[in-house]
Amino acid sequence: MELSPLLSGNQLSSLMQTIRQSKRIVICAHRSPDGDAVGSSLGLADYLQTLGKQVQVVLPNPFPDFLRWMPGSHLVQFYIHHERQATRIIDQADLIVCLDFSQPGRLQEMSVAVQRAKAEKVVIDHHLDPDLKLGSQVYCFPNLSSTCEAVFRIICQLGGFDSLSKAGAICLYTGMMTDTGGFTYNSSRPEIFEIISMLLTKGFDKDKIYRNVFHVFSIDRLRLTGYILYEKLLFFAQGKASVFTLSREEMQRFHFIRGDAEGLVNMPLQVKGMRLSISLREDTERDVVRVSLRSTDDFPCNRMAEEFFNGGGHLNASGGELPFPLSEAVKTAERAIEAYREMLG
């Protein structure tokens, strides 16, 4: 089985020329970067470095602790920690590659620096409704499992598979794995498993990667999970939808660290007949409530996220945010569930 090309001949030629003419390349991804954002950034950086490019990954803020083991992650610059230095790196770039986002607002604090930069900008993403003004070349593939899948396939089209290192393959595999929940959703296309087979020829242990991501939580996180499931989980629409909240005070009580909320929103979907799960969590850095939505089958949580939570995303995995306080966010979630009651039924 051969991978179908993502880019047309003209698109591929334009991207090749842009890369060839660029010496200093900055790769950036969205705020609160997840496995796909980090994996695609580090994987693409690995490939571009084999071409002799000076590559720097600059992210708006840190990623979760359970991704710190990833090859090259220690070289990432965080805008929120070193704003002046990160801005200088962005200003000096010949090319900026924007990964796993296609709306400048997803960069938040870093948005002005990236938009103001004179460098040419290329966007590679898998979300809906890209902002075509963000870059001179915008490549968005909503049908793909992840941005890591898109990056891998583009690298292959550029003739770079043989030069992709084991470290780069690990990063791209990790992003694909995390953005599909261990290949349990949005991962039914045969090409995905062809890509996995190709990546595995680089000689890494995929089972160890799974453990590195999903089996590294603290005792406090385990107790937090039990607390949420027993004390905080509310059910609506005859058990078809659920909502739970997490306040700053509760996070402090359970010694919360970045990444401890990862995967919690998926757990209520284990209930028979559950169609929608909503997580409402107070942000630890800004006065907003972060919203995560997960759904099953054809329930459009991305549409709900756009309509009620100032967000968006994929059919079964979306997010957004609401202003304080948390109690008002709960009322918004209840209104959203009521508005979609018929679809939930």
Q: Are residues 110 and 185 in the same domain?
A: yes
Written as six digits, the tokens of 3 are: 């991978």
How many independent structural domains does the chain possess?
Answer: 2
Q: Are residues 157 and 63 in the same domain?
A: yes
CB 198 within 8 A of CB 59: no
Residues of the chain with pLDDT under 50: none
pLDDT, position 295 = 96
Q: Are residues 149 and 270 in the same domain?
A: no
Q: Are residues 197 and 323 in the same domain?
A: no
Q: Are residues 25 and 101 in the same domain?
A: yes
pLDDT digits (tens, 9 = 90+) for 303-319: 999 999 999 888 999 99
- CATH number at 17 reads 3.90.1640.10
Q: Are residues 93 and 149 in the same domain?
A: yes
pLDDT digits (tens, 9 = 90+) for 111-146: 999 999 999 999 999 998 899 899 999 999 999 999
Q: Are residues 148 and 234 in the same domain?
A: no
C-alpha 165: how far from chain center: 22
pLDDT, position 115 = 95
User: Does 2 reside within a domain?
Assistant: no
Residues whose CB is less than 8 angstroms from the CB of residue 276 and which lie 6 or more positions away in sequence, other chains included: 240, 241, 242, 293, 294, 295, 296, 299, 301, 304, 337, 340, 344
Q: Which domain holds residue 309?
A: 219-344
pLDDT digits (tens, 9 = 90+) for 280-293: 999 988 899 999 99
Q: Are residues 171 and 61 in the same domain?
A: yes
User: Does 162 reside within a domain?
Assistant: yes
- CATH number at 229 reads 3.10.310.30
Q: Are residues 266 and 139 in the same domain?
A: no
pLDDT, position 186 = 86
User: Does 4 reside within a domain?
Assistant: no
pLDDT, position 1 = 63
Q: 207 to each of 30, 176, 213, how far by Cα in Å?
A: 27, 14, 10
Q: pTM of the entire structure?
A: 0.91
**Strand ranges (E), the chain:** 24-29, 54-59, 77-78, 95-99, 120-125, 137-140, 234-236, 241-246, 276-282, 288-295, 312-313, 317-323
Residues whose CB is less than 8 angstroms from the CB of residue 53 and which lie 6 or more positions away in sequence, other chains included: 19, 22, 23, 24, 25
Q: How far apart are the first and last CA of the chain?
A: 40
